[in-house]
Amino acid sequence: MIYHPAILSLLTASTIISMMVLFAGWKGLLILRCWDLKSGSELQLQMERSTYLVSTILAYILFFHLISLFLYIFTADDLHSMFVGAMCAAGSLNANRFGYPVLMLKIVTCICAGVWLIINHADSQGYDYPLIKPKYAFLLVLVPLIIGETSLQFLYFAGLKPQVITSCCGSLFSAGAGTLSSDLAALPRVPMEAALVAVLAITCLGGILFLKTGKGGYFFAAASTLLFFIAMAALVSFISIYVYELPTHHCPFCILHREYGYVGYPLYAALLGAGIAGMGAGALMPARQQASMANVVPGIQRKLVATSVALYLLFGLVTAYLIATSALKF
Amino acid sequence: MALYTLVIFVLASLIFFVHAIKRESTTILREAPEMVVQRQLAGRHELIPIDYIEKIRSIRGVDKVEARLWGYYYDPVFGANFTVMVPETKQLAPGRIILGRGVARTQRISTGDMVTFRGATKASLLMTVQEVLDYQSELVTSDLVLVSRSDFQELFNLPQGHATDLAVTVANPDELATIAAKIADRLPDTRPILRSEILRTYESLFDWRGGMMTVILFSAILSFVIFAWDKASGLSADERREIGILKSIGWETSDVLLLKFWEGMAVSLTAFLLGTNLAYGHVFFFSAPLFEPALKGWSVLYPEFRLEPAIDFLQLAILFFLSVFPYTAATILPSWMAATVDPDAAMRT
Amino acid sequence: MIRLANVVKTFNSGKPNQFTAVDDVSIEIRPLNLTVLKGPSGSGKTTLLSLIGCMVRPSSGRIFLHGIETRFARHNESAGSFEITSLPERFLNEIRRSTFGFIFQQFNLIKGISVLENIMLPAYPTGENHTALHQRGMGLLERFDIKRHAPSKVEWLSGGELQRVAIARALINNPSILVADEPTAHLDSRLSHEFMKIVSELKSKGKTILIASHDPIVYDSEIADTVVEMRDGRITGRGHEE
């Protein structure tokens, strides 16, 4: 365990977030069990009031979780000098087996919290709480995810031993090391570029089709989810090497550094935003059947799809710009 | 509000200070030799014979080996410890010394003055101050006294043919670990120390100290959070009445929550800005008078210097998570309770 | 029009201090009329007002709104009426904000902010353009002859002025129904008569008005179309002066 102020603050934040989500989950459980809209009883009124509390809590959780995601990467980056062989966050995260799972869980929980808030927003537009049950069932899925993330994060920091020799981005994200990250890096550049462009085009077309006709919502959601993963893989496999202008450097964290103009932030922000909006639009598809939702949901979905498409295009543009201005040419 | 600002101020000072000091020491150590070889005798640091230089130089990959002479001098008059060194780059004539700021300050001397040192053989050495070192990175050079090789040997009565330790330069930095292992193998009574190891030790030392301070401050944060909770939940009758009126004239729970959110934001933002700015001034213009004793070295000669301003996202994010976040979290439930006053409450009074 | 069918409101149900404030009330509030709820204090007038005004939900029974437009109920417009009994608070509020204007016994103005701010408060959650709102607020102040007080704090105003501010605030969202709970309880006779004059003006301009009061100036007023008498949470009589 290292007494680094950043570690302490991350642990504090996660503990508080966990407590908040536990509380929200408990309220959610109560709502799932006792909800009866027809009743004017005080219990029902109490539960309706607690929905405000739960959505406030979730909004805060999403906000703080996003910051803690970046703080986590930053902390790992700052700690790299403690580990032999670590040159950036990639190395520190590899210092024990919990580093990467925590990062993954943080991303997943951010997306889940975002999608939950989208569903919640739609639900609050319906006069009979049409999505209340699925919404709180989803919340109950989120609870163990966040608790798990907090525990793993604790294990990760508790298990940090400064003298551990780790492998850093050079070896971790270089082709042929046999790990998931190296497999990502080993993905051939040209097919990956082609795949990214193709899926980006399909997603945009799907989005435009949806905006025009209101059809193909599931298709768009699937495409944008796929695009999210492909874009993540593309960051490791080829976008990074254009940024670093070094054909062997695949690290997805160094692009957050000042040396590269903080270009990682717009890229990651656009990706996360686009992913959440796209998946949220898909998650709202079943709600189109509900009477009270029928004239609200399509409007929300259109906004989400438009946001998602715009952010993916922004991602594409930034990437294209990076490739065009890179000194690295193939 | 004042308490909030104070908590942020103290925390921010601490975090900025630790960060700046870490950077400072990293900058200094960047100029340190890649590897230092010390001799150990019964587990303690011993003088190293000069002929070890040749033995190490014969190892393949070693570029340069230099003997270093340094030690500590206790000044009984001022009760202070100085670090005495023979400079590697500057050639000093015998009888001349260069002083660090702290030494010059305590002895109240400046360039051109004469100063006496009590030698190990009772004979005192009278020396002329040639220069006082610049304050850049004073943290480490503050207590420094640079003397010539012969003066050093006379001052400490050092046996001929010995050095304090050896600085080793390697042709290929990637080979450092291998060469260190070879040295340890060939000269079992020595201990090679890598610069990266020192750096790491320093960093974790500063982090550890900073962390310990944070842990201590944690109780302060906790009581502050309890205070925030208490304040937010103990709504005054007036405030409760106002929220009741707002609800009765058509405001909704979420509108009141939003209002409370902006209220909290305004408080947090003001406290955060005020606290961090005060801390910035405290640390970088006034050199953190509150923390110096706890966080800097143990010497009586506290370095007096300005830290290079250095703040980045990480520092601010840490601060944010240790202050604004607990505060906000503590106010969610109370503001919700305030916001869910019955709209007809205003009618029933 | 608002119609209540067998509405019951019980507080603290299931507890020893349970009590029924409104018991099995069925009533119709007709548009463009002045309806007065008359009865001693504790007779359930205020609770009935808050039920009609969408402030609270009934424990049982149903409340229907007719001919009132809302954003979300477009699809059952064909029925001409809809039930608000089990609407979530969010929607009740929306109806309340756009349909009802409230005048309270204590005026319930917020101290520390200006008269104009007080008047504009009910419109803030609608997210309306601030300049338009400001104009409307000033218009109302002018109409009630208190424009010169717009920037003053409410604590500096006299009783009559306060009352007019409260009425102006009730009108800011241009509601079709005005609800007033014991509006004359803290006014002397002159101001009470002045209040009734304003009410009759508003009525002639097409507002539906509902007043709960045990003040004869109100319930014996010639402009009252319907007087409903209440006692112990039940309606004991109604008089029509048509």
Out of A252-256, B293-297, C95-99, C202-206, which region has the weakest mean confidence (pLDDT)? Answer: B293-297
In 10 A of CB B309, how many CB atoms? 11
**Residue B136 contacts A, CB cutoff 8 Å:** no
B32, burial (CB in 10 Å: exposed 0-12, middle 13-18, buried 19+):
middle
- The residues, any chain, with a CB within 8 Å of residue A33's CB and separated by 6 or more, are none
Residues of chain B numbered 250-279 and touching chain C (CB < 8 Å):
250-255
- Residue A35 to residue A30: CA distance in whole angstroms: 8
Higher-confidence residue of C167 and B197: namely: C167
Domain span at residue A132? 1-167
The whole-angstrom distance between residue B157's C-alpha and the CA centroid of its chain comes to 35
Q: What's the pLDDT score for residue A180?
A: 65
pLDDT at C85 over 90: no
Q: What's the pLDDT score for residue C200?
A: 92
User: Interface pTM (ipTM) of the complex?
Assistant: 0.85
Q: Quick one: A189 and A303 in the same domain?
A: yes
Out of A26-30, A123-127, C81-85, which region has the weakest mean confidence (pLDDT)? Answer: C81-85
For B348, which residue in chain C has the nearest alpha carbon? C46
**Residue A259 contacts B, CB cutoff 8 Å:** no
Q: Quick one: A30 and A113 in the same domain?
A: yes
Among A290-299, B158-167, C161-170, the range with the most confident prediction by mean pLDDT is C161-170
Out of C78-92, C99-113, C228-242, which region has the weakest mean confidence (pLDDT)? Answer: C78-92
Pick the residue of C77, C83, C86 with the most A CBs within 10 A to test the interface with A by mutation. C86
| Minimal CA separation from B16 to chain A, in Å | 11
Q: What's the pLDDT score for residue A178?
A: 56
C145, burial (CB in 10 Å: exposed 0-12, middle 13-18, buried 19+):
exposed
pTM over 0.90: no
Q: Quick one: A283 and A310 in the same domain?
A: yes
A162 — pLDDT class (breaks 50, 70, 90): low
| Minimal CA separation from A19 to chain B, in Å | 10
For C7, which residue in chain A has the nearest alpha carbon? A40
Of B238, B245, B250, the CB nearest to C93: B250
Q: Quick one: A157 and A194 in the same domain?
A: no
Residue B314 contacts residue A74 (beta carbons within 8 Å):
yes
Pick the residue of B18, B194, B207, B268 with the most A CBs within 10 A to test the interface with A by mutation. B207
Query: Each residue of B296-323: pLDDT tens digit?
Result: 554 444 444 556 666 777 788 888 888 8
**Residue B343 contacts A, CB cutoff 8 Å:** no
Query: What does the H/E/C string look like for B226-291?
Result: HHHHHHHHCCCHHHHHHHHHHHHCCCCHHHHHHHHHHHHHHHHHHHHHHHHHHHHHHHHHCCCCCC
In 10 A of CB A104, how many CB atoms? 12
A127/C73 Cβ within 8 A: yes
| Token code pair at residue A265 | 């932030």
Strands annotated E in chain B: 35-41, 44-46, 48-49, 62-68, 70-75, 80-85, 96-99, 114-118, 124-132, 144-146, 162-163, 165-170, 190-194
C77 — pLDDT class (breaks 50, 70, 90): very low
| Minimal CA separation from A33 to chain C, in Å | 18
Angle, CA B282 vertex, CA B277 and CA B287 arms, to 5°:
140
The structural domains of chain B, ordered by start, are: 2-27+202-348 (no CATH), 34-193 (2.40.40.20)
Average pLDDT of span B218-243: 76
In 10 A of CB B162, how many CB atoms? 17
Q: What's the pLDDT score for residue C75?
A: 47
Higher-confidence residue of A283 and A253: namely: A283
Q: Quick one: A112 and A210 in the same domain?
A: no
- Domain termination residue (choose one: A109, A143, A167): A167
- Domain termination residue (choose one: A167, A190, A212): A167
Q: Quick one: A157 and A289 in the same domain?
A: no
A125 interaction partners in chain C (CB closer than 8 Å) = 72
What does the CA dihedral A209, A210, A214, A216 come to, rounded to 10 degrees? 90
Q: What's the pLDDT score for residue B292?
A: 64
Q: Quick one: A20 and A85 in the same domain?
A: yes
Higher-confidence residue of A224 and B159: namely: A224
C110/B245 Cβ within 8 A: yes
Query: What does the H/E/C string look like for chain A?
Result: CCCCHHHHHHHHHHHHHHHHHHHHHHHHHHHHHHCCCCCCCHHHHHHHHHHHHHHHHHHHHHHHHHHHHHHHHHHHHHHHHHCECCCCHHHHHCCCCCHHHHHHHHHHHHHHHHHHHHHHHHHCCCCCCCCHHHHHHHHHHHHHHHHHHHHHHHHHHHCCCCCCECCCHHHHCCCCCCCHHHHHHHCCHHHHHHHHHHHHHHHHHHHHHHHHHCCCHHHHHHHHHHHHHHHHHHHHHHHHHHHHCCCCCCCCCHHHCHHHCCCHHHHHHHHHHHHHHHHHHHHCHHHHHCCCCCCCHHHHHHHHHHHHHHHHHHHHHHHHHHHHHCCCCC
For chain A, how many structural domains are there in total?
2
pLDDT at A61 over 80: yes
For B174, which residue in chain A has the nearest alpha carbon? A85
Residue B343 contacts residue B248 (beta carbons within 8 Å):
yes
B314 interaction partners in chain A (CB closer than 8 Å) = 6, 71, 74-75, 78
A3 interaction partners in chain B (CB closer than 8 Å) = 207-208, 210-212, 214-215
B318/A6 Cβ within 8 A: yes
Average pLDDT of span A170-196: 71
Q: What's at A172, amino acid-wise? A: L
The whole-angstrom distance between residue C25's C-alpha and the CA centroid of its chain comes to 18
Size of interface B-C (CB pairs under 8 A): 61
A300 interaction partners in chain C (CB closer than 8 Å) = none
Q: Quick one: A311 and A279 in the same domain?
A: yes
Out of B329-343, C34-48, C210-224, which region has the weakest mean confidence (pLDDT)? Answer: B329-343
Higher-confidence residue of B303 and B196: namely: B196
pLDDT at C72 over 60: no
pLDDT at B5 over 90: no
- Residue B99 to residue B88: CA distance in whole angstroms: 15
Pick the residue of C92, C105, C119, C124 with the most B CBs within 10 A to test the interface with B by mutation. C124
- Residue C98 to residue C95: CA distance in whole angstroms: 5
For B261, which residue in chain A has the nearest alpha carbon? A56
What percent of chain B is modeled with pLDDT above 90? 1
pLDDT at C242 over 50: no
Counting every residue, how long is chain C? 242
Which residues face B68 on adjacent strands?
A: B165
Q: Quick one: A141 and A184 in the same domain?
A: no
Helix A297-325 and helix A264-283, axial crossing angle in degrees, nearest 10:
150
Q: What's the pLDDT score for residue A168?
A: 59
A touches which chains (3+ CB pairs under 8 A)?
B, C
Query: Each residue of A222-267: pLDDT tens digit?
Result: 999 999 999 988 888 888 888 888 777 777 888 887 778 788 888 8
Q: What's the pLDDT score for residue B302?
A: 45
Query: Each residue of B165-191: pLDDT tens digit?
Result: 888 888 777 777 778 888 888 888 888
Residue C43 contacts residue C231 (beta carbons within 8 Å):
yes
pLDDT at B79 over 80: no
C72/A292 Cβ within 8 A: yes
| Token code pair at residue B40 | 């150990």
**Residue C58 contacts A, CB cutoff 8 Å:** yes
Strands C2-11 and C19-29: antiparallel
Average pLDDT of span B124-148: 73
| Token code pair at residue B56 | 């190490």
Residue C25 contacts residue C234 (beta carbons within 8 Å):
yes
Residue C49 contacts residue C37 (beta carbons within 8 Å):
yes
pLDDT at A98 over 90: no
Average pLDDT over chain B, rounded to whole? 78
Q: What's the pLDDT score for residue B141?
A: 67
Q: What's the pLDDT score for residue A226?
A: 92
A60 interaction partners in chain B (CB closer than 8 Å) = 328-329, 332
Q: Quick one: A106 and A192 in the same domain?
A: no
pLDDT at A146 over 50: yes
Half-sphere exposure for B303 (CA within 13 Å, toward CB): 24
C60 interaction partners in chain A (CB closer than 8 Å) = 40
Q: Quick one: A122 and A255 in the same domain?
A: no
Please identify which residue in the block is written with the tokens 């569903």.
Answer: A119
Residue C89 contacts residue B252 (beta carbons within 8 Å):
yes
C94 interaction partners in chain A (CB closer than 8 Å) = none
Q: Quick one: A160 and A73 in the same domain?
A: yes
- Domain termination residue (choose one: A101, A134, A167): A167
B314/A6 Cβ within 8 A: yes
Q: What's the pLDDT score for residue A118?
A: 92
**Residue A248 contacts B, CB cutoff 8 Å:** no
Query: Each residue of C26-41: pLDDT tens digit?
Result: 988 888 889 999 988 8
Query: Each residue of C49-64: pLDDT tens digit?
Result: 988 888 888 888 888 8
- The residues, any chain, with a CB within 8 Å of residue C188's CB and separated by 6 or more, are none
State the alpha helices, DSSP H only, in chain C. Answer: 45-52, 89-99, 115-120, 130-143, 159-171, 189-204, 216-219
